[in-house]
Amino acid sequence: SNSRAYSLVDSSQVSTFLISILLIVYGSFRSLNMDFENQDKEKDNSSTAGSFNGNSTNNSIQTIDSTQALFLPIGASVSLLVMFFFFDSVQVVFTICTAVLATIAFAFLLLPMCQYLTRPCSPQNKISFGCCGRFTAAELLSFSLSVMLVLIWVLTGHWLLMDALAMGLCVAMIAFVRLPSLKVSCLLLSGLLIYDVFWVFFSAYIFNSNVMVKVATQPADNPLDVLSRKLHLGPNVGRDVPRLSLPGKLVFPSSTGSHFSMLGIGDIVMPGLLLCFVLRYDNYKKQANSDSCGAPGPGNISGRMQKVSYFHCTLIGYFVGLLTATVASRIHRAAQPALLYLVPFTLLPLLTMAYLKGDLRRMWSEPFHSKSSSSRFLEV
């Protein structure tokens, strides 16, 4: 694929806008719904000793701390260099690992629909599969559909199936990864902004190639083709399958089909984690206000400003940032680091609004911890 073709934008960019925003909103509300479910489980088990931490007790949820936020761009840079220099050696392993992760993520994306479909047909009892665990009928159905879609993608390599798998990865990462505070959010997004700018704008001066664009657009050998060659199954077995463009991005063809617009899933997930954080904070603040019988906010803030949620403010900033990145790519006719535009347009309005509302200090340092501790103490 021509890397320049991915930077040209037309009406296909509208699809990128809509899909990325829908993924962020859906992933954030899935995350909030998981919090509600965990709170219900905590209430059911309130007679047993538990943690005072108000964050989710689900072991599958990963909370990023300050150290991880600082070192994540470094780890991402190392991974990018490994893919750049040793792609031919690790492409099959990387493709298989990506397919496995995409299968699980897409099953998570399909789970609510499968729960809706199976609810009238069967009770939500879990079926035991021995050491593999216990699963409901909806979970088994979503996983089966996900495996089927991944197999079809491996056989056809169609961009639409790749986009579906990338959507599952986005939603799962937004739902299962948490930012505990605004401080960690600023550390993470600022580091990733530097990472994105360096590898898009300056890597060509060092490596004589745009590392980010090359890795993002380089197709991988199909595992079926590699397997047929390794096992010497014959020239007609597994040789007609296409090379695979890995689901690390969303791609949409133009109306003429001459080129694709592209948006990396990191440009969706990382701002999505911030939006998930502010959505949880909006819900936390709403509960706190209801507990305090609707106590008014600071006197220097109008009632209209108090009604504007942090989630809506940050979501509008994300849209404006995407629009700015699109205009920049059209003007310069070159690949643009989307986080260069997304991070300022999401963080700066959020910081400004938090300062005006008087919430900046609480949001900066783990805002959910103190409330949940006192609430849990009062329950006991």
The pLDDT score that the predictor gives to residue 257 is 61
Listed residue (156, 19, 175) closest to 104, CA to CA: 175
Residue 268: is its pLDDT beyond 80? yes
The pLDDT score that the predictor gives to residue 183 is 94
Lowest mean pLDDT among 63-72, 238-247, 287-296, 302-311: 287-296
C-alpha torsion 324→325→331→336, nearest 10: 160
pLDDT digits (tens, 9 = 90+) for 26-36: 999 999 898 88
Determine how β-strand 260-264 pairs with β-strand 134-135: unpaired
Residue 248: is its pLDDT beyond 90? no
User: What's at 156, amino acid-wise?
Assistant: T
- Which two three-digit tokens encode residue 99? 């397919």
Return the higher-pLDDT residue of 290 and 16: 16
Return the higher-pLDDT residue of 329 and 71: 71
State the pLDDT confidence band at 222, using cuts at 50, 70 and 90.
confident
Quick check: helix, strand or coil at residue 63?
strand
DSSP state letter for 132: G
pLDDT digits (tens, 9 = 90+) for 332-365: 877 889 999 999 999 999 999 999 888 899 999 8
**Number of other residues whose CB lies within 10 A of the CB of residue 268:** 30
> How far is 207 from 316, CA to CA, in rounded Å?
37
Q: In the chain, where are the structural domains located?
A: 10-42+61-121+132-262
> How far is 306 from 75, CA to CA, in rounded Å?
39
pLDDT digits (tens, 9 = 90+) for 99-109: 999 999 999 99
List residues with catalytic annotation. Answer: 196, 267
- Which two three-digit tokens encode residue 95? 């493709």
Residue 288: is its pLDDT beyond 50? yes
The pLDDT score that the predictor gives to residue 258 is 61
> How far is 223 from 170, CA to CA, in rounded Å?
24
Q: Are residues 318 and 275 in contact, defined by beta-carbon separation less than 8 angstroms?
A: yes
Residue 148: is its pLDDT beyond 80? yes
Residue 230: is its pLDDT beyond 50? yes
**Number of other residues whose CB lies within 10 A of the CB of residue 95:** 20
The pLDDT score that the predictor gives to residue 49 is 47
